[in-house]
Amino acid sequence: MSSEEMNHGHSGHETEYEHEDLGTRAVFAFMIGLAIFGVVIYFIIVGMYTFLDNYERSKMATASPLITSRGAISRVVTQADMDRDFKDNGAPMLEINERGQMRDFLMNQENQLHSYGWVDEKAGVAHIPIERAMELTVQRGLPVYSPANAEAGAKAENKGSAKAAAAMRQIASP
């Protein structure tokens, strides 16, 4: 065999590099073209959305012919808008201060658990502090139902709330 056949057709040449590599000028030109194309697409999309928004506003009909439009449609809704529009329709409102409202709710419950007061004065129903209620339950025991007690309870209810107020005063005094 000849030496040319052993070198695979390369007669006498050593290893060389590829002479047709991609140049840096072409890479930078592509990147600049891509950036310009991105900016053009951005302006096309902004223009399209502006056109569609204006078209929608021009074709939008009011809910009733008796209602006049207030100008531009506002997409920002404030709490004052909600209070003005939905105050009297009976719909539940969203909470705007969840932590403060929950704190107030819990404080009202705590105050009711640790104070004396009327639940229904006409019916003679009162609330007492929970510690006093536990003491009275230990002293008197739990009530037991019997038909005789039910009749006596019904008669006592008919006598009026004066005795209930006196009983509340008696329970309230330690």
0.95 exceeded by pTM: no
pLDDT tens-digit profile of 125-173? 888 998 998 999 999 888 777 777 666 666 655 555 555 556 555 555 5
Predicted confidence (pLDDT) at residue 8 exceeds the cutoff of 80: no
pLDDT tens-digit profile of 79-131? 777 777 777 777 676 777 788 888 999 999 998 888 998 888 899 888 899 89
Q: Which residues contact 163 (CB under 8 A, 6 or more apart)?
A: 124, 156
CA distances to 61, 72, 75, 86 from 64, in Å: 8, 17, 20, 18
Q: Where are the domains of the chain?
A: 20-62, 99-172
User: Can you give the pLDDT at residue 2?
Assistant: 52
Beta bridge partners of 126: 118
Terminal-residue alpha carbon distance, the chain = 124
